[in-house]
Amino acid sequence: MFDISTVKKTKKAKAPKIVLAGPGKIGKTTFAASAPQAVGILTEDGA
């Protein structure tokens, strides 16, 4: 029989946070946008 008191709380797994840096036109944005549920913060002029 299952006893609910034996269940232990665990911490929720957090997604990794990364920073992509490099020269223009090498695919940083394309790479980042391919991740599921990606969030991008575009900080360059003209972005």
1-47 pLDDT tens trace: 889 999 999 999 888 888 889 998 999 989 999 999 888 888 877 65
**In a domain? residue 25:** yes
pLDDT at res. 21 = 92
Q: Is residue 45 part of a domain?
A: yes
Domain with 25, as residue range(s), is 15-47
- Within-domain flag for 37: yes
pTM (two decimals):
0.53
Q: Provide the pLDDT for residue 45.
A: 79
Share of the chain above pLDDT 70, in %: 96
Contact 20, 30 (CB under 8 A): no
Cα dihedral 14→20→25→31 (10° resolution): -20
Count of domains forming the chain: 1
The answer as to whether 10 is a domain residue is no
Q: Which amino acid is at 27?
A: G
Residue 26 forms part of a structural domain: yes
